[in-house]
A and B are shown apart, each in its own frame.
Chain A
Amino acid sequence: MIRIIFSILFFIAGKSARAYPDFIGYGYTSCLTCHYSGHGGGALNDYGRALFATEIASRSLYSAKTDEEEIARQSQFLVQTELPWWIRPGIKYRGLWFQNSPGSRTDSIQKFLNMQNDINVNFFLDKEQKFSFISTATYTTYPIRFATSTGKNSAPFWFAKEFYFRYQISRNFWLYAGQLDKPFGIRHIDHTLVSRSGIGLGQFDQSQSLILHATYNEWDVAFSGFMGNSLEENRFKQKGFSITGEYELREKNRIGLSILKSKNDIVGWTRLATHSRVGLSKGSAILTELGFFENQSLTASSKPPTGVYAVVQTLAHIQRGYNLLTTLQYSKADIDKPVTEKTSFTVGALMFPMQRTEFRLSAINGQNYDESTGSKDSWQLQSQLHFSW
């Protein structure tokens, strides 16, 4: 049933997207406006830094006399000092505190994670940035992602998360070669969503790729061929392709379609998704994604189950720098069998109290429906602090 609601919402709202894809509410439909990557995430470009400072973040720390141009100037890496045109560094940090089962005397646990520790260094061969080299080194304290595929599960370590050449072929065509995120669906900033890590597109799932990206005002499409993460052993590397595209039905109102097919020596992946991004009044938006997935074991001859997922995220702009964020998730591992239907509802505040800074507070309620047993609700409290310098 919930799939029907998502589908209807998708089509009514219709009458790839990316880190803060919700900012379509401000009228920014393309990730390239703010990021070096056409599919979002990673380092901010100069315009993205200035936009963060002058439109997204609160200006309450500035006096009324300080104009927006001055605030934009202060968004540079060295604040007031402009770096040479050929280099743009950046630092990103995200810390997460969470508490499961708050209030419970027996089950409650809390933990703090240094979730994102990135250093970006980006080089340009020309002032127009037609030839660019983008790189992100990251330090992870919980290398679960690579536990089986690299053996690096025993200690925190540094590694190159993304590194790629970007070449602007023409006004509308871009070529990316190197290790970066696979273009697919809405690239939410929350990598734990069922539409991200739930289908193998999580925080450390970048892949060595060749991507051709065509961008026009009313549509864009990306073709990606990929051959796995450079850290993984060969037999674990997912090799395949993904295609994602978006079409603008009307201003601030886009629909998209994505497909991904790949395999390694163990399992083959098929993913298919539709999405919509609708900007409402200034800064507010609704994003929906409905997808299907299959994981085909290469040692089994039987047809794999088809799973389904859906995500609805709303961003409501309260005032500059302060927003209400909700996320509804639904997933079911097999659409043909009465297996557990997992749902979660997140409600919280997304705040940018000053430039370079994001602060989140949220509560997550999880409810499962299973034909074979009743289960309690789950609750988690989260707080995140993000610096993007």
Chain B
Amino acid sequence: MSEAVHTESTGSPWRTWAAWRSLFRDRPIIPLIGLLAALVVASQLARPGIVNPTWAGVILRAAVPLAILAGCQTLTMLTGGIDLSVGAVASMSGFVLATLVSGPGTPTGIVVALVAAALAGLLNGIGVGVFRVHPLIMTLGMSLVVLGLANVWQLQTVQTSSGVPEALRWLGSGTFLGIVPNSLLVFVPLAALILLGLRRTGYGRLLYAVGDNPIAARLSGARSWQVLIVLYVISALLAALAGFLLGGLTNTASVTLADSYVLPSVAAAVIGGTSIMGGRGGFGGTIVGALILTVLSSLLSSLGYPEAVRQILFGSIIVAVAAAYTRVTSES
């Protein structure tokens, strides 16, 4: 509830612990930015001189697809759901686009990939919204369906010169002046759209309402099934976009490209302060969460830790941050 009421902090708000707590509760992004800054400082201490504009560009570039996928989780988690199919949908979209580049061309490929993704999202939405299938199960089943169909598609298409289109490589991995990643061209408007959409539009309010108290939302006239169908289509389209960027970033097209991003995307949304129970959170925190995870994994690999230790620290930090969150934001 990043836009929660913060009227009680009148008087001398900056002196007491309780006031700090209420600040954290209402603006959870502030301690998160603090954590991010601490991680950047730690990176600098670990490898003096590593923190420079180029480094920041690399981090941003790597964080963008994760942040978009975490955006899918944020939106669905606001309604008390989750979207485990983002990995499969993102990979599928990137892959479909790559196979269509040499034949029908990039624009057609993009349209086909987006339509396929939207279809998966539509089915997710119908399952969750109309048939009341648990989102975990619905999106898990959908990810199996999408993965299988993508594999079938892979066997159908001839493997001739299927490749990531030049434009996408430019967008996903190119940089402006060697520093500012081009993917920000997509991400900044997108993030602004999501942030404003959540705060300023009726649809954004409906997401919070449906997640916070479904019965109250229904009684106040919200048709939650419509909200959910639109939501899962949006989520799938975002995932497709992330798949394009990821394809451009890694210059590969594979049906399992984004699979390893699914769990980190949930983690980024959780670290960013979005409650998995619904009704609480926002995209701002999620962006910082994605940056935190990216800086953290870059820090851990620059320290030369083996993959095993990185995973252990990764998991522990997620638990710790989530626990701190719950402690700070819980009532009483």
A-B complex is real = no
Interface residues of A (CB under 8 A from B): none
Interface residues of B (CB under 8 A from A): none
